[in-house]
Amino acid sequence: MERIIYVAELDQDIDDIIAAEYLYRQGVLKGVVLDPYPKTEVGLKRLNNLKQKGISVSETIPDGTEYIFVGGALTTVANYIANHTGVKALVMNGGFVGCNIVPFKDQLDKFRNKEFVRTFNFNMDINATDAVMRSTSEQIQEIILVGKNVCHSDKNTKLGLWKNGVAREILDEYHSKDEKKQHDMLACREGLILTKQMEGNLYCEYKEVYPVTQDGLKGNMTQWGSTVLKKKTPYRVVKSAIRYKI
């Protein structure tokens, strides 16, 4: 059952260690790939916590990996698919589905009437993101994105979706604040259900779309959105969360 490699950035945000812990407690985590290797005291402490649980840790994605979940940049994924095929699913907190697709009533206030926004994980390594979003189905069979148009909702907190169960236990253990948005854990939960590695009802509704930039690649200032028209973008089809079902 342990089939998932989780790509984590441990220095900046607690999201990644919480998501890794969530996958570990679900019994599906094969190992964690560090991108990059942590340098801060808090990042190294989180790394030590993973090792103490017996979780395999590396800096590259192992050969034969079929399921990759990403909480940070796509650098290691781009490097992997440059020399490998056969990834069944890539699940990631990233991307954005805007007002051209999301019904007005389901748009979050902070993104109301917006079609393009900057997205942190995509823009951490823009060249890697460009390569992964151009990948073939032989390299990556399916890409599942849970973007900021859903993960920035107040529902995605300890007082909302995560008030009970193992998720609540993890958040309490890591002293997560009540209002903290659980971006990566939401992507992990949804990805497990969509890839049939966990039973449960999806929190979000999904649609096949194509990632698109507003005016091309501009480093960490790149503005991302989605389109249903392939001719408007060089990128492949992905399955993206568009709104909550609950």
Torsion of CA 201, 112, 155, 197, to 10 degrees: 30
Query: Nearest to residue 17, comparing CAs of 46, 59, 60?
Result: 46
Quote the pLDDT of residue 198.
96
Q: Which residue has the tokens 């949804």?
A: 190
Name 92's Cβ contacts closer than 8 Å, sequence gap at least 6. 69, 70, 74, 121, 143, 144, 145, 146, 187
Quote the pLDDT of residue 2.
84
**Cβ atoms 238, 208 nearer than 8 A:** yes
pLDDT tens digits, one per residue of 80-137: 999 999 999 999 999 999 999 999 999 999 999 999 999 999 999 999 999 999 999 9
Domain coordinates of the chain in residue numbers? 4-244
Question: Cα–Cα distance between 53 and 49 in angstroms, integer?
Answer: 7
CATH of the domain spanning 4-244: 3.90.245.10
Quote the pLDDT of residue 97.
98
Side-chain half-sphere exposure of 31, counting CA atoms within 13 A: 14
pLDDT tens digits, one per residue of 154-207: 999 999 999 999 999 999 999 999 999 999 999 999 999 999 999 999 999 999
Quote the pLDDT of residue 13.
79
**Cβ atoms 218, 238 nearer than 8 A:** no
Question: Cα–Cα distance between 170 and 235 in angstroms, integer?
Answer: 36
Q: Over 80: is that where the pLDDT of 21 sits?
A: yes
Q: What is the mean pLDDT of the chain?
A: 96
Query: Helices 165-173 and 15-25 sit at what angle, rounded to 10 degrees?
Result: 140
pLDDT bin (cut points 50, 70, 90) of residue 246 is confident
